[in-house]
Amino acid sequence: MNKKVGRPASNNVPYFPHYTETSNELMFLERKHGAEGYRAYYRLFEMVAKAEHHHIHIKTENQKLTFRYTMNVDKKILDDVINYLVEIEFIDQELYKDKQIIWIPRFIEKFREVYRKRERSLPYKQGNTIIVSATETHSKEKKS
């Protein structure tokens, strides 16, 4: 296989479609929290789209603070939005509860065509691990 010369391989996407049809999840969050709910929903998508391999670690205090600061949404509202999305399994419950990882499989699936064009497989969950290529995993706990 010939390697392309130039830019390094990208493990995120700079763009995702913003559909005009409002999802039930967004409708609920917007009704409950107004514009802040709307912002939290789409800001979460932005962060997952640009995150390495499309998942966000929020296990350490610094990871949590970085996430909160980047989301730029009131902490109470952000916590409620995340808890709601975990409860309805929009955010993967197992990865969130066991490893404090935000993984949104239905959203990530929308990137399938991008990865096909990159001639790489889309990251996916196997058990409680995120597989990012045939030979690499990204959510295993670091060994001390």
pTM summary value: 0.79
Boundaries of every domain in the chain:
24-104
Axis-axis angle for helices 75-87, 35-50 (nearest 10) = 70
pLDDT tens digits, one per residue of 57-96:
999 999 999 999 999 999 999 999 999 999 999 999 999 9
**Rounded average pLDDT over 108-126:** 81
Determine the pLDDT at residue 132: 84
Comparison of pLDDT for 65 and 13, the residue scoring more: 65
- Our CA dihedral for 38, 23, 19, 35, rounded to 10 degrees, sits at -10
- Can you tell me the distance from the alpha carbon of 41 to that of 104, in angstroms, rounded to the nearest whole number? 12
- Our CA dihedral for 24, 114, 137, 60, rounded to 10 degrees, sits at -50
pLDDT band at 101 (very low <50, low <70, confident <90, very high): very high
